[in-house]
Amino acid sequence: MLNIVIFGAPGSGKGTQSAKLVEKYGLKHLSTGEILRDEIKAGTELGRLADTYMSRGELVPDELVIDILEGLIGKNGHIKGFVFDGFPRTLAQGEALGKMLQKHGEDVHAVVNLEVDEKELIDRLLKRGEISGRKDDNRETIESRLKVYHTQTAPLKEFYRARGILKKIEGVGSVDEIFRSIEKEIDTLVK
């Protein structure tokens, strides 16, 4: 299997580049943000709970997201691999992902780290907020999401750098240009 974590701040292009990874390498996309938004739409108990955190730009508790991922990894036995988008987001989630994959004799093979400057991130998210009306794309919540990213999520870069699998990608430019840089890294793993 080929298991890729797509990593970066809110608005760095994780969802956009995940779609291209899925298309080229035939992987299964697992976005915890999308899964949680679906739960909110469906009005489930998990959705209602998640909404209280997401609308403030805070992280949903580790146990909840780890549980969701554990179920999904177990269910998708015969696939080429996963693109994990928006997971892991804390060191505890990083440790948990490693353990979940090891249970199936698997591992994370690459962590694609999309680097985008803060001004560009805010511009992209505000723009999307105007168009799609995603509830957390407003200035106050964006600021909180970015703060949470720096304090709770960014430490994972060192976690994966120490394992030799962190691939730094310049995340500004056209979507195709950025994907070409990602492909270069992933193709060396596939060969």
The set of catalytic residues is 14, 89, 128, 134, 145
**Is 32 near ligand AP5 (CB under 6 A)?**
yes
Provide the β-strand partners of residue 82.
28
**Residue 187 neighbours by CB under 8 Å, 6+ apart:** none
Q: Which of residues 112-141 bind ligand AP5 (CB under 6 A)?
A: 124-125, 128, 136
At closest approach, how far in Å is the CB of 14 from ligand AP5?
Answer: 3
Indicate left, alpha or beta for 67 from its phi (over 0: left) and psi (-120 to 50: alpha): alpha
- Applying CB under 6 A, which part among 29-37, 72-80, 94-102, 161-169 lies near ligand AP5? 29-37
Question: Using the rule CB under 6 A, which residue among 7, 82, 87, 179 binds ligand AP5?
Answer: 87
**Is 65 near ligand AP5 (CB under 6 A)?**
yes
Question: Using the rule CB under 6 A, which residue among 2, 27, 111, 145 binds ligand AP5?
Answer: 145
**Is 167 near ligand AP5 (CB under 6 A)?**
no
Which amino acid appears at position 37 of this protein? R
In terms of Cβ atoms closer than 10 Å to its own Cβ (0-12, 13-18, 19+), residue 12 is buried
At closest approach, how far in Å is the CB of 164 from ligand AP5?
Answer: 23
- Applying CB under 6 A, which part among 20-28, 40-48, 72-80, 82-90 lies near ligand AP5? 82-90
Cβ-proximal residue to ligand AP5, closest one: 33
**Residue 90 neighbours by CB under 8 Å, 6+ apart:** 59, 62, 152, 153, 156
**Is 94 near ligand AP5 (CB under 6 A)?**
no
Alpha helices (H) along the chain = 14-25, 32-42, 45-54, 62-75, 91-103, 118-132, 139-148, 155-161, 175-190
| Alpha-carbon dihedral 39, 40, 43, 47, rounded to 10 degrees | 70
Q: Could you list the residues that contact ligand AP5 (CB under 6 A)? A: 8, 10-16, 32-33, 36, 53-54, 57-60, 65, 86-87, 89, 93, 124-125, 128, 136, 145, 175, 178
